[in-house]
Each structure stands twice: as C-alpha cells, then as structure tokens.
C-alpha cells in the first residue's frame, strides 16, 4: 500500500511520462486501481509496473502503448544513444564494446514473441501470495528486431569454459537493493532467435521497454529479457544473485501452501507454460443477443498451441475454439468461439489450451510461494439477458 504523499510524488514523476490523464486518480486505502494513459492499470508506482486491461486484447500484435511494463528498479534517468555501449566479456577470447552503429553491422533478425511476466496471474493464486498483483495482462506480443546474440558472441569468441551468459542493465538501483542481474544457459544464448533487440513493432524501443537495446529470450519468462542492456558477460556457471536465487525459482515438487522449501529442491524458471486467457466477454459482463463472440489468446512458451477449448457450462462440456490465422514460433494464437446461449441466466465460461508437447492447461495452478507461472484455465462469469 502506498501513502498519499508517495502517490503525489509518483504522479508528478508520471507526468513526465504520460500527459497526466483525468483517469489517473487516487484510489484510496484499498490499494492501486489507477488508470494511466490509455487506461493501462498501474500496479506499482514506486517503480513502474503497468498491466494491460485484458479487454484490450484484440489484435495479434500488441501496440506498444498497451504492452505491459515490468520494472524491478528505477528506469535509467539518462540514456544517450550516441554514448551507449554494450560490453561483451568474461569467458571470451576477445572482449568487445559495441555502439549502436557497431550493432547495425550485424545481420538484422526479427522474432515475434509473446512476452509474459513470470508473475502474471499471481493475484489469482490461492492462498494469496505477496508480490505485484498481476491479473491477466502482464503479457503481450510484439515483433522484436535486432541482432542475434549468437553473432555477437561468436565475434567475441566464446571459450569452451563459457556455460552461461549474464545480462546487466542500466537500471538505477535503490540503496540496499541487489541489482537486476540474471543469466541464461549458453545453449539458449546461442539459439538463432535469441536477440539483442533494438526495435519493437518496427520502431526504436521505448524507454519503458529497454531503449536503446534489450535482450530478447523468446519463449522464456519476461525476466530473462534484460532491458537497457549495458553488459553481457560469459560465465563458467550460472550467475549467483538474488534474481537467480531465491528469485525466479520453482519447487521441484509441488508443495503445500506455507510449507518451506530448501533452495536445493528448487530450479530456475525458464520457458513459459501452456496458458489461455479470455479477453471477451469481461468477467462480470452482461451480454445480450443470440450469438456471443468469446475470444482470447493462448500461448505455450517454446511449444506451439495445438488446441483451445471453451466451456460455457462451468466445465461440463467443451467446444473447440477456432484458432486465428496469424502465427509464429514464439507468439500466442488468437482464438474465438461463437456461443449461442440457449437461455438467459448466469454462466461460467472457461478456456483451456493444449500445446504441441501434450501439456494441458490445468484446472488449478501449481501453488508456489512467489506465485510464478500461474496458468490455471481461465474463467469469467457472465449474465445473459433475455
Ligand atoms: N534491466 C531490467 N530488465 C528487465 C527488468 C528489470 O527490472 N530491469 N524486468 C524484467 C521483467 S521481470 C519482465 S517481465 C520484463 C518485462 O518487459 P517489458 O517491461 O518490456 O514488458 O523485463 C525484464 N527485464
Ligand atoms: Mo517479470
């Protein structure tokens, strides 16, 4: 919870980012239900955390102003593209320091990727867990362009001792807070689709999304894709720091809520699970008419979506949804189902995705102390008017 004083401080900070919008209003003691520009939900003001209202999910590519923002620290206050360099060091033959101009000399590559925060859906975890209370919208799909991390690493010459690749961004780290530093295994770093991205949907990255360059680790939790990239370091082992451990780890075996888990019984989270969400109708909506377009999106990290099913009777029977035509390896599929309610009344609509690995969205998510990877079947209550 934030004080009114913090709120006023934060809104004056926001004024530089957004033109202050009439919707941006103090929500009182109940917490943060505040709308920023374009109606994005502000989940945290201390750092900048914006969620997309799920109703905005209409197109395969998420417009940048509707793309969620997740910051663990303060965004860099000054960023000069002309001065910017990224260093490549550690277990390499030839350390490099590259400017934006240097990067442009490598082959351009684009990847359409669904980026989801590991904490998306945390608000639905039962029992409740602490952390940013994301509901459905800490996810978006964009076309990221830049250069292959592999090409840059090969230029530097990775030694055989190189096992992990660490990213360090230019975030401004508050006192006593560990910096946002994480690493990915060398195999994923060398994948042809792992990028140093400088563009999003064809335009330069905005500051919220990591200008001038960010890592883009497709199919993996958002936290793998470090923003405001300044340093890339090849390590002989996984990076050891707060955001690798205890952060972003899951118990190896499901645990009971409240049960303690030893660090050695956990593993780092990498790829996303299988998941679908309902974008329309909204939860609690009253709908009219004979045909209701139920639609949403489904994604599965490094796997493909095989099928989405919709139930309109609280899960007793299931109907196959139609998948949208647009698709790409790491991107969500839009889906829709035309529902003809037989009668007026109250209904529970549920969506359930299955992926190419045979994983099925579970009826309840695996509870874990930080509420990561919430992927239970999505459900909304609707009232059908006669
Ligand atoms: N440097 C830096 N990179 C970061 C973060 C951060 O706080 N600092 N947040 C991470 C997390 S947790 C997520 S979910 C994604 C969100 O990317 P977006 O803000 O572009 O949507 O960025 C990741 N990269
Ligand atoms: Mo995240």
Start and end residues for every CATH 2.60.40.650 domain found in the chain? 275-384
> CA 75, CA 82: separation in Å to the nearest integer?
18
Question: From ligand 1's centre to the CA of 222, what distance in Å?
Answer: 6
Sequence-ordered list of residues with C-beta below 8 angstroms from that of 5, at least 6 positions apart, any chain: none
71 CA: nearest ligand 1 atom: 7
The mean per-residue pLDDT over the stretch 9-31 comes to 42
Whether residue 129 has its Cβ less than 6 Å from ligand 1:
no
- Contact assessment for residue 316 and residue 348, using Cβ atoms and an 8 Å cutoff: no
Q: Which CATH class is domain 86-113+137-268?
A: alpha beta
Which of 214, 221, 227, 219 is CA-nearest to residue 248? 221
313: its two tokens: 């009777």
Whether residue 182 has its Cβ less than 6 Å from ligand 1:
no
Which of 360, 126, 332, 108 is CA-nearest to residue 218? 332
249: its two tokens: 């780890």
Nearest CA to ligand 1 atom 5: 71
- Count of CB atoms situated within 10 Å of the CB of 86: 22
304: its two tokens: 């493909």
Nearest CA to ligand 1 atom 4: 226
Mutate to test the pocket of ligand 1, among 222, 224, 242, 370 (most ligand atoms within 8 A of CB): 222
pLDDT tens digits along 288-301: 988 999 999 999 99
pLDDT value at 360 more than 50:
yes
pLDDT at 206: 97
pLDDT tens digits along 186-219: 999 999 999 999 999 999 999 999 999 999 999 9
Question: From ligand 1's centre to the CA of 215, what distance in Å?
Answer: 10
170 CA: nearest ligand 1 atom: 1
Sequence-ordered list of residues with C-beta below 8 angstroms from that of 320, at least 6 positions apart, any chain: 307, 308, 309, 337
Q: What is the CATH number of domain 275-384?
A: 2.60.40.650
pLDDT tens digits along 214-230: 999 999 999 999 999 99
pLDDT at 9: 47
167 CA: nearest ligand 1 atom: 1
Give the closest ligand to the alpha carbon of residue 48.
1
Start and end residues for every CATH 3.90.420.10 domain found in the chain? 86-113+137-268
- Contact assessment for residue 236 and residue 91, using Cβ atoms and an 8 Å cutoff: yes
Nearest CA to ligand 1 atom 24: 226
Bridge-based pairing state of the strands 164-169 and 139-148: unpaired
> CA 216, CA 300: separation in Å to the nearest integer?
17
Sequence length of the chain is 386
pLDDT tens digits along 114-148: 999 999 999 999 999 999 999 999 999 999 999 99
């Amino acid at each position: 919870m934030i004080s009114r004083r913090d709120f006023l401080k934060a809104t004056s900070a926001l004024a530089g980012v957004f033109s202050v919008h009439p919707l941006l209003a103090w929500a009182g003691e109940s917490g943060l239900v505040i709308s920023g520009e374009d109606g994005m939900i502000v989940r945290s003001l201390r750092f900048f955390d914006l969620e997309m209202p799920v109703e905005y999910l209409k197109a395969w590519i998420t417009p940048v102003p509707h793309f969620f923002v997740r910051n663990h620290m303060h965004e860099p206050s000054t960023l000069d593209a002309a001065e910017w360099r990224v260093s490549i060091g550690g277990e390499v033959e030839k350390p490099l320091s590259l400017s934006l101009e240097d990067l442009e000399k490598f082959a351009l590559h684009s990847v359409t990727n669904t980026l989801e925060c590991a904490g998306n859906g945390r608000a639905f975890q039962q029992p409740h867990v602490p952390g940013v209370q994301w509901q459905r919208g800490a996810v978006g799909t964009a076309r990221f362009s830049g250069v292959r991390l592999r090409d840059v690493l090969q230029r530097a010459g990775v030694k055989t001792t190189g096992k992990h690749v660490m990213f360090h961004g230019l975030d401004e780290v508050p006192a006593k807070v560990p910096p946002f530093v994480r690493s990915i295994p060398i195999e994923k770093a060398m994948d042809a689709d792992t990028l140093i991205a400088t563009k999003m949907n064809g335009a330069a990255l905005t500051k919220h999304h990591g200008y001038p360059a960010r890592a883009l680790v497709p199919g993996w939790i958002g936290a793998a894709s470090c923003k405001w990239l300044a340093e890339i370091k090849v390590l002989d082992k996984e990076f050891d720091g707060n955001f690798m451990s205890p952060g972003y780890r899951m118990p190896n075996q499901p645990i009971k809520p409240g049960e303690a888990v030893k660090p050695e019984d956990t593993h780092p989270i990498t790829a996303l699970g299988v998941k679908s969400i309902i974008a329309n109708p909204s939860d609690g909506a009253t709908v009219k008419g004979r045909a209701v377009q139920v639609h949403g999106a489904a994604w599965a990290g490094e796997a493909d979506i095989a099928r989405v099913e919709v139930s309109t009777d609280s899960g007793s029977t299931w109907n196959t949804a139609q998948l949208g035509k647009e698709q790409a390896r790491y991107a969500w599929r839009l889906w829709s189902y035309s529902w003809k309610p037989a009668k007026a009344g109250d209904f529970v609509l549920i969506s359930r995705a299955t992926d190419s690995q045979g994983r099925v969205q579970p009826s309840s998510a695996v509870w874990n102390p930080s509420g990561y990877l919430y992927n239970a079947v999505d459900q909304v209550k609707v009232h059908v008017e006669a």
